[in-house]
């Protein structure tokens, strides 16, 4: 029993796959910051950003549908922004009255909500592209290159390694619960029980999972100590970035700056 669906990485040989993880991570962050900085309603800039996202997606060989499907998962959050169409003041788009009062939808409000949803959707797709084309160990190396403390990166690595092991264990616990609760179906007991009882059972499973993790953590430490671990995080140095990769990094950053300038000029 293996939890494979957890790992979003799709092995491949596309140009995006081959791009150095350090460059990929830096450019993804730059893209997302740029997208966040573009003012509301600067549609030309959004089109450019979308063109970039689309090109990257096409280059990954994963199929655009993969990105679109996953990116829409974030859109429900956009509902939180929806009331802005009423609350942002501006040129009225539509007005109606009801018992509670008069509601006015403003052009600026709609513009803002659409912009927020677009920003989120575009950023999300870039993040998906990063995760889908970069094996996690390379991502760890990229994190170190971005000066994230080595100790923290080491803990990230351990967490990722045991994510799968523990997700398997969690799944086993859930299966065991499912097996037991169907056994009592035909008895006269109320199936499922009260919410509090269900919560306590779930809590028991969480406790069980934590207990196993504590024990495993101790054993892992023993295994590390057996090979000379002394508390310091040590890794082999990374090879220097090649000229071509530097070029892509510089080019990507320049494009981000240009889009921002354009957006500010238009706004």
Partner 1 sequence: MHHTIEIRELVFKYPDGARALDGVNFYIAPGEKVALVGPNGAGKSTLLLHLNGILRGEGSVRVAGMEITPSNLLKIRAAVGLVFQDPDDQLFSPTVFDDVAFGPLYQGLPEAQVRARVAEALAAVRMQDYAPRVSHHLSVGQKKRIAIATALSMQPEILVLDEPTAGLDPRARRDLIHLLRELPQTMLIATHDLRMVAELLPRTLVLDQGRIVKDDATRAILDDEDLLRAHGLEKP
Partner 2 sequence: MLAVTFAPPVLHIPDGFLSVLVALSLWLVTIVVVIIALRRVNADLGERQVPMMGVLAAAIFAGQMLNFPVAGGTSGHLLGAALATILMGPWAAVIIMTCVIGIQGLIFQDGGLLAMGANIFNMGIVGVVITHFVYRSIRAAAGNRVWSIFVGGFLSAWLSVVLSALITGLELALSGTSPANVAIPAMGGVHILIGLGEALITVGALAFLYFTRPDLLKIGEAKPAGRGIWLAGLVMAIAVAVASPLASSHPDGLEWVAEQQGFLMHAQSAPYHIVPDYLFPGIENQALATILAGIVGVLVVFAVALGIAYARRNKNAASAASQTQH
- Note whether 39 binds partner 2 by CB under 8 A: yes
Q: Shortest approach of partner 1 to residue 47 CB, angstroms? A: 39
Footprint on residues 196-235 left by partner 2 (CB under 8 A): 196, 198-214, 216-218, 220-221, 224, 229-231, 233
Residue with smaller CB distance to partner 1, 147 or 227:
227
Nearest alpha carbon to residue 19 among 255, 181, 242, 169: 242
* Chain centroid, CA 195 distance in Å: 31
| 166 binding partner (options partner 2, partner 1, none; Cβ < 5 to 8 Å by kind) | partner 2
The residues with which 104 forms a beta bridge, in sequence order, are 95
Check residue 50 for interaction with partner 1 (CB under 8 A).
no
Binding residues for partner 2 restricted to 99-118, rule: CB under 8 A: 100-104, 106, 112, 116-118
CB 173 within 8 A of CB 209: yes
DSSP result, 76-129: GGGGGGTTHHHHS-SSEEEEEEETTEEEEEEHHHHHHHHHHHHHHHHHHHHHHH
Considering the rule CB under 8 A, would residue 191 count as an interface residue with partner 2?
A: no
Q: For partner 2, which is the closer residue by CB, 72 or 246? A: 72
Stretch that binds partner 1, among 42-50, 125-133, 156-164, 177-185 (CB under 8 A): 156-164
- Is 137 among the residues that bind partner 2 (CB under 8 A)? no
Cα separations in angstroms, 246 against 141, 222, 242, 253: 17, 41, 6, 11
Per rule CB under 8 A, is residue 136 in the interface with partner 1?
yes
Q: Is 156 a residue that touches partner 2 (CB under 8 A)?
A: yes
Distance CA 209, CA 249 (A): 43
Beta strands in the chain (DSSP E): 92-98, 101-106
CB atoms within 10 A of CB 98: 7
**Contacts to partner 1 from residues 170-229, by CB under 8 A:** 216, 219-220, 222-229
Sites of contact with partner 1 (CB under 8 A): 2, 4, 135-137, 140, 157-158, 160-162, 164-165, 216, 219-220, 222-230, 234-237
């Amino acid at each position: 029993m293996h939890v494979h669906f957890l790992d979003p990485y799709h092995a491949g040989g596309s140009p995006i796959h081959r791009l150095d993880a350090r460059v990929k991570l830096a450019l993804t962050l730059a893209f997302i910051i740029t997208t966040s900085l573009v003012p509301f309603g600067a549609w030309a800039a959004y089109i450019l950003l979308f063109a970039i996202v689309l090109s990257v997606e096409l280059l990954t060989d994963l199929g655009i549908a993969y990105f679109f499907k996953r990116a829409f998962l974030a859109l429900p959050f956009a509902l939180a922004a929806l009331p802005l169409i009423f609350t942002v003041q501006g040129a009225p788009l539509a007005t109606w009255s009801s018992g509670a009062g008069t509601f006015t939808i403003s052009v600026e409000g709609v513009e803002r909500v659409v912009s927020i949803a677009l920003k989120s959707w575009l950023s999300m797709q870039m993040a998906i592209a990063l995760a889908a084309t970069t094996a996690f160990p390379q991502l760890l190396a990229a994190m170190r290159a971005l000066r994230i403390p080595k100790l923290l990166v080491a803990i990230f690595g351990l967490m990722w390694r045991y994510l799968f092991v523990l997700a398997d264990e969690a799944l086993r616990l859930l299966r065991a619960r499912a097996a037991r609760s169907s056994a009592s179906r035909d008895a006269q007991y109320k199936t499922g029980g009260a919410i509090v009882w269900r919560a306590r059972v779930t809590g028991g499973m969480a406790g069980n999972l934590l207990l196993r993790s504590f024990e495993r953590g101790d054993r892992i430490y023993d295994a590390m100590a057996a090979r000379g671990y002394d508390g310091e995080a040590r890794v082999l140095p990374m090879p220097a970035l090649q000229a071509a990769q530097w070029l892509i990094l510089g080019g990507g950053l320049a494009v981000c700056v240009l889009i921002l300038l354009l957006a500010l000029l238009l706004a």
